[in-house]
Amino acid sequence: MVKHLFRGSMPALITPFLDDALDEEAFKALIERQINAGSHGLVPAGTTGESATLSHEEHERVVELCIEVANKRVPVVAGCGSNSTAEALRLMAHAERVGADAALVVTPYYNKPSQQGLYEHYKALSESSSLPIFIYNIPARSVVDMSVETMARLAEFKNVIGVKDATGNLARVSSQRATCGKDFIQLSGNDETALAFMAMGGHGCVSVTANVAPDLCAQFQTFCMDKDYDHALLMHDRLFLLHTALFLDASPGPTKYALHTLGVLDHDAVRLPITVPSEACRMSVDAALRRARLL
Protein backbone atom coordinates (compact mmCIF):
# COMPACT_ATOMS: atom_id res chain seq x y z
CA MET A 1 0.00 0.00 0.00
CA VAL A 2 2.83 2.40 0.90
CA LYS A 3 4.49 1.59 -2.41
CA HIS A 4 1.45 2.83 -4.31
CA LEU A 5 1.22 6.01 -2.22
CA PHE A 6 4.71 7.25 -3.11
CA ARG A 7 5.15 6.91 -6.85
CA GLY A 8 5.14 8.72 -10.15
CA SER A 9 5.90 12.40 -10.62
CA MET A 10 6.66 14.12 -7.32
CA PRO A 11 7.85 17.67 -7.99
CA ALA A 12 10.61 19.09 -5.80
CA LEU A 13 8.75 22.34 -5.27
CA ILE A 14 10.44 25.72 -5.65
CA THR A 15 9.86 28.29 -2.91
CA PRO A 16 8.66 31.61 -4.38
CA PHE A 17 9.98 34.81 -2.80
CA LEU A 18 8.70 38.38 -2.88
CA ASP A 19 10.92 41.11 -1.42
CA ASP A 20 13.10 38.29 -0.01
CA ALA A 21 10.17 36.87 1.97
CA LEU A 22 8.13 33.73 1.36
CA ASP A 23 5.35 34.51 -1.11
CA GLU A 24 2.59 32.42 0.41
CA GLU A 25 -0.08 33.17 -2.19
CA ALA A 26 2.22 32.27 -5.07
CA PHE A 27 3.21 29.06 -3.30
CA LYS A 28 -0.43 28.08 -2.78
CA ALA A 29 -1.12 28.69 -6.47
CA LEU A 30 1.86 26.53 -7.46
CA ILE A 31 0.53 23.66 -5.35
CA GLU A 32 -2.93 23.89 -6.92
CA ARG A 33 -1.31 23.95 -10.36
CA GLN A 34 0.61 20.78 -9.56
CA ILE A 35 -2.42 18.90 -8.30
CA ASN A 36 -4.58 20.01 -11.23
CA ALA A 37 -1.86 18.89 -13.64
CA GLY A 38 -1.87 15.36 -12.23
CA SER A 39 1.30 15.29 -10.13
CA HIS A 40 1.32 12.21 -7.94
CA GLY A 41 2.87 13.83 -4.86
CA LEU A 42 4.63 16.95 -3.57
CA VAL A 43 8.04 17.51 -2.02
CA PRO A 44 8.37 20.89 -0.25
CA ALA A 45 11.44 22.35 1.47
CA GLY A 46 14.02 20.34 -0.41
CA THR A 47 17.11 21.48 -2.29
CA THR A 48 15.06 22.97 -5.13
CA GLY A 49 13.00 24.77 -2.50
CA GLU A 50 16.19 26.56 -1.37
CA SER A 51 15.90 24.93 2.03
CA ALA A 52 19.52 25.77 2.83
CA THR A 53 18.65 29.47 3.00
CA LEU A 54 15.22 29.22 4.62
CA SER A 55 14.93 30.22 8.25
CA HIS A 56 13.58 27.59 10.63
CA GLU A 57 10.26 29.42 10.69
CA GLU A 58 10.11 29.66 6.88
CA HIS A 59 10.98 25.98 6.49
CA GLU A 60 8.17 24.96 8.81
CA ARG A 61 5.72 27.35 7.16
CA VAL A 62 6.49 25.97 3.69
CA VAL A 63 5.77 22.43 4.90
CA GLU A 64 2.60 23.53 6.71
CA LEU A 65 1.27 25.41 3.68
CA CYS A 66 1.90 22.48 1.35
CA ILE A 67 0.06 20.08 3.64
CA GLU A 68 -2.85 22.50 4.14
CA VAL A 69 -3.34 23.20 0.45
CA ALA A 70 -2.83 19.59 -0.68
CA ASN A 71 -5.43 18.56 1.89
CA LYS A 72 -4.69 14.84 1.43
CA ARG A 73 -5.35 14.98 -2.32
CA VAL A 74 -1.77 13.83 -2.93
CA PRO A 75 0.93 12.72 -0.47
CA VAL A 76 3.37 15.30 0.87
CA VAL A 77 6.98 14.25 1.50
CA ALA A 78 8.48 17.01 3.64
CA GLY A 79 12.13 17.94 3.37
CA CYS A 80 13.60 17.29 6.83
CA GLY A 81 17.31 16.97 6.16
CA SER A 82 20.15 18.59 8.08
CA ASN A 83 23.83 17.98 8.76
CA SER A 84 22.83 18.00 12.45
CA THR A 85 20.99 14.94 13.69
CA ALA A 86 19.31 17.04 16.38
CA GLU A 87 18.05 19.51 13.77
CA ALA A 88 16.76 16.72 11.53
CA LEU A 89 14.95 15.27 14.53
CA ARG A 90 13.30 18.64 15.15
CA LEU A 91 12.24 19.02 11.52
CA MET A 92 10.82 15.50 11.47
CA ALA A 93 8.88 16.08 14.68
CA HIS A 94 7.33 19.19 13.17
CA ALA A 95 6.51 17.45 9.86
CA GLU A 96 4.84 14.58 11.69
CA ARG A 97 2.90 16.96 13.93
CA VAL A 98 1.43 18.96 11.02
CA GLY A 99 0.47 15.90 8.98
CA ALA A 100 3.20 15.13 6.44
CA ASP A 101 2.96 11.71 4.84
CA ALA A 102 6.72 11.09 4.87
CA ALA A 103 10.07 12.78 5.41
CA LEU A 104 12.85 13.24 2.89
CA VAL A 105 16.16 13.26 4.77
CA VAL A 106 19.39 14.08 2.96
CA THR A 107 22.63 12.44 4.00
CA PRO A 108 24.40 14.83 6.42
CA TYR A 109 26.41 17.28 4.33
CA TYR A 110 29.74 18.95 5.19
CA ASN A 111 30.41 16.63 8.15
CA LYS A 112 31.46 13.76 5.86
CA PRO A 113 30.31 11.04 8.29
CA SER A 114 31.46 7.45 8.00
CA GLN A 115 29.07 4.74 6.89
CA GLN A 116 28.50 3.93 10.57
CA GLY A 117 27.79 7.60 11.20
CA LEU A 118 25.21 7.58 8.42
CA TYR A 119 23.63 4.46 9.88
CA GLU A 120 23.44 5.97 13.37
CA HIS A 121 21.97 9.22 12.00
CA TYR A 122 19.03 7.50 10.28
CA LYS A 123 18.66 4.98 13.10
CA ALA A 124 18.14 7.87 15.54
CA LEU A 125 15.54 9.42 13.22
CA SER A 126 13.74 6.12 12.71
CA GLU A 127 13.54 5.40 16.42
CA SER A 128 12.26 8.87 17.29
CA SER A 129 9.36 9.00 14.83
CA SER A 130 6.74 6.86 13.15
CA LEU A 131 6.93 9.03 10.02
CA PRO A 132 8.04 7.11 6.91
CA ILE A 133 11.57 8.13 5.91
CA PHE A 134 13.14 8.45 2.48
CA ILE A 135 16.93 8.54 2.43
CA TYR A 136 18.14 11.25 0.07
CA ASN A 137 21.46 10.16 -1.38
CA ILE A 138 23.12 12.95 -3.38
CA PRO A 139 26.92 12.73 -3.16
CA ALA A 140 27.47 15.70 -5.50
CA ARG A 141 25.97 18.02 -2.89
CA SER A 142 26.54 16.25 0.41
CA VAL A 143 30.07 14.93 -0.38
CA VAL A 144 29.16 11.59 1.14
CA ASP A 145 27.72 8.54 -0.63
CA MET A 146 25.68 6.04 1.33
CA SER A 147 26.78 2.56 0.34
CA VAL A 148 24.29 -0.04 -0.80
CA GLU A 149 25.28 -2.12 2.24
CA THR A 150 24.46 0.71 4.67
CA MET A 151 21.16 1.32 2.91
CA ALA A 152 20.29 -2.35 3.22
CA ARG A 153 20.95 -2.19 6.98
CA LEU A 154 18.65 0.84 7.27
CA ALA A 155 15.95 -0.81 5.14
CA GLU A 156 15.46 -3.23 8.02
CA PHE A 157 13.81 -0.42 9.98
CA LYS A 158 10.08 -0.50 9.32
CA ASN A 159 9.75 3.23 8.62
CA VAL A 160 12.83 3.60 6.40
CA ILE A 161 10.83 2.91 3.28
CA GLY A 162 12.90 4.14 0.35
CA VAL A 163 15.50 6.35 -1.28
CA LYS A 164 15.64 9.38 -3.48
CA ASP A 165 18.65 8.36 -5.52
CA ALA A 166 20.56 11.25 -7.07
CA THR A 167 23.84 9.42 -7.52
CA GLY A 168 23.40 9.34 -11.29
CA ASN A 169 24.59 5.73 -11.19
CA LEU A 170 21.87 3.64 -12.79
CA ALA A 171 23.49 0.42 -11.61
CA ARG A 172 22.49 1.44 -8.09
CA VAL A 173 18.84 0.82 -8.94
CA SER A 174 19.48 -2.89 -9.44
CA SER A 175 21.93 -3.12 -6.54
CA GLN A 176 19.50 -1.49 -4.16
CA ARG A 177 16.64 -3.60 -5.47
CA ALA A 178 18.67 -6.75 -4.84
CA THR A 179 19.81 -5.81 -1.33
CA CYS A 180 16.90 -3.74 0.02
CA GLY A 181 14.09 -5.70 -1.60
CA LYS A 182 11.58 -5.02 -4.35
CA ASP A 183 9.26 -3.14 -1.99
CA PHE A 184 11.95 -0.62 -1.02
CA ILE A 185 10.73 2.49 -2.86
CA GLN A 186 13.28 3.95 -5.27
CA LEU A 187 12.64 7.47 -6.52
CA SER A 188 14.95 9.01 -9.09
CA GLY A 189 16.53 12.33 -8.20
CA ASN A 190 17.57 13.01 -11.79
CA ASP A 191 15.05 13.87 -14.51
CA GLU A 192 17.45 13.17 -17.35
CA THR A 193 17.90 9.51 -16.38
CA ALA A 194 14.40 8.88 -14.99
CA LEU A 195 13.35 6.77 -18.00
CA ALA A 196 16.14 4.24 -17.49
CA PHE A 197 15.66 4.42 -13.72
CA MET A 198 12.00 3.46 -14.09
CA ALA A 199 12.72 0.70 -16.58
CA MET A 200 15.15 -0.85 -14.08
CA GLY A 201 12.55 -1.04 -11.34
CA GLY A 202 12.16 2.50 -10.01
CA HIS A 203 8.89 3.79 -8.63
CA GLY A 204 8.95 7.48 -9.55
CA CYS A 205 10.93 10.70 -9.70
CA VAL A 206 11.36 13.66 -7.36
CA SER A 207 11.41 15.99 -10.31
CA VAL A 208 12.74 19.50 -10.86
CA THR A 209 11.33 19.70 -14.38
CA ALA A 210 7.85 18.99 -13.00
CA ASN A 211 7.87 22.52 -11.59
CA VAL A 212 7.82 23.79 -15.18
CA ALA A 213 5.91 21.04 -17.00
CA PRO A 214 3.86 19.21 -14.36
CA ASP A 215 1.36 17.71 -16.76
CA LEU A 216 4.00 16.35 -19.13
CA CYS A 217 6.07 14.90 -16.28
CA ALA A 218 2.98 13.27 -14.80
CA GLN A 219 2.11 11.78 -18.19
CA PHE A 220 5.69 10.56 -18.62
CA GLN A 221 5.64 8.82 -15.25
CA THR A 222 2.24 7.29 -15.95
CA PHE A 223 3.59 5.82 -19.20
CA CYS A 224 6.55 4.39 -17.25
CA MET A 225 4.34 2.92 -14.52
CA ASP A 226 2.19 1.34 -17.23
CA LYS A 227 5.39 0.02 -18.85
CA ASP A 228 4.51 1.88 -22.04
CA TYR A 229 8.11 2.76 -22.77
CA ASP A 230 7.53 3.70 -26.41
CA HIS A 231 5.37 6.65 -25.40
CA ALA A 232 7.58 7.35 -22.39
CA LEU A 233 10.56 7.69 -24.74
CA LEU A 234 8.69 10.18 -26.92
CA MET A 235 7.92 12.26 -23.84
CA HIS A 236 11.51 11.93 -22.62
CA ASP A 237 12.82 13.23 -25.94
CA ARG A 238 10.42 16.17 -25.78
CA LEU A 239 11.59 17.13 -22.28
CA PHE A 240 15.27 16.20 -22.40
CA LEU A 241 16.65 19.64 -23.31
CA LEU A 242 14.60 21.14 -20.51
CA HIS A 243 15.97 18.59 -18.04
CA THR A 244 19.49 19.72 -18.85
CA ALA A 245 18.82 23.45 -19.31
CA LEU A 246 17.41 23.78 -15.81
CA PHE A 247 20.84 22.92 -14.43
CA LEU A 248 23.03 25.08 -16.67
CA ASP A 249 23.19 27.58 -13.82
CA ALA A 250 22.76 27.24 -10.06
CA SER A 251 19.40 25.62 -9.30
CA PRO A 252 16.65 26.71 -8.89
CA GLY A 253 17.50 29.91 -10.76
CA PRO A 254 16.76 28.51 -14.23
CA THR A 255 13.56 26.85 -12.99
CA LYS A 256 12.24 30.08 -11.51
CA TYR A 257 13.20 31.89 -14.72
CA ALA A 258 11.23 29.33 -16.75
CA LEU A 259 8.17 29.71 -14.53
CA HIS A 260 8.37 33.48 -14.86
CA THR A 261 8.75 33.21 -18.65
CA LEU A 262 5.66 31.02 -18.83
CA GLY A 263 3.69 33.50 -16.74
CA VAL A 264 3.26 31.07 -13.86
CA LEU A 265 5.23 33.33 -11.49
CA ASP A 266 5.14 37.11 -11.42
CA HIS A 267 8.76 37.16 -10.27
CA ASP A 268 11.78 34.87 -10.37
CA ALA A 269 13.59 35.97 -7.19
CA VAL A 270 16.13 33.63 -5.65
CA ARG A 271 17.98 33.98 -2.37
CA LEU A 272 21.73 34.51 -2.13
CA PRO A 273 24.09 32.82 -2.66
CA ILE A 274 21.91 31.59 -5.57
CA THR A 275 21.71 34.22 -8.31
CA VAL A 276 19.48 34.69 -11.34
CA PRO A 277 20.70 32.72 -14.37
CA SER A 278 23.07 34.13 -16.94
CA GLU A 279 21.91 35.32 -20.35
CA ALA A 280 23.36 32.21 -21.98
CA CYS A 281 21.43 30.00 -19.58
CA ARG A 282 18.22 31.94 -20.15
CA MET A 283 18.59 31.50 -23.91
CA SER A 284 19.04 27.75 -23.44
CA VAL A 285 15.97 27.56 -21.20
CA ASP A 286 13.93 29.47 -23.80
CA ALA A 287 15.06 27.05 -26.51
CA ALA A 288 14.21 24.06 -24.30
CA LEU A 289 10.76 25.47 -23.56
CA ARG A 290 10.15 25.79 -27.30
CA ARG A 291 11.40 22.25 -27.90
CA ALA A 292 8.96 21.01 -25.25
CA ARG A 293 6.22 23.02 -26.99
CA LEU A 294 5.59 25.03 -23.84
CA LEU A 295 6.36 28.33 -25.57
- Residues with active-site annotation: 136, 164
CA dist., res. 27 & res. 47, Å (int): 16
- State how far the Cα of 105 lies from the Cα of 92, in Å rounded to an integer: 9
Q: What is the DSSP letter of 268?
A: -
Radius of gyration in angstroms for the set of CA atoms belonging to the chain, rounded to a whole number: 18
Round to whole Å and give the CA distance between 204 and 8. Answer: 4
Whole-number Å distance between alpha carbons of 270 and 287: 22
Residue ranges of E strands in the chain:
8-11, 17-18, 21-22, 77-79, 102-106, 133-137, 160-165, 185-188, 204-207
> What is the Cα–Cα distance from 231 to 189, expressed in whole angstroms?
21
Reference 77, options 247, 242, 203; nearest CA is 203
Q: 163 with 153: CB under 8 angstroms?
A: no
Tell me how far apart the alpha carbons of residues 90 and 124 are, in angstroms, rounded to a whole number.
12
The neighbour count for residue 277, using CB atoms within 10 Å, is: 26
Contacts (Cβ under 8 Å, ≥6 apart) of 125: 85, 88, 89, 92, 103, 105, 133
- Transcribe 96-148 into DSSP letters: HHHT-SEEEEEPPTTT---HHHHHHHHHHHHHH--S-EEEEE-HHHHS----H
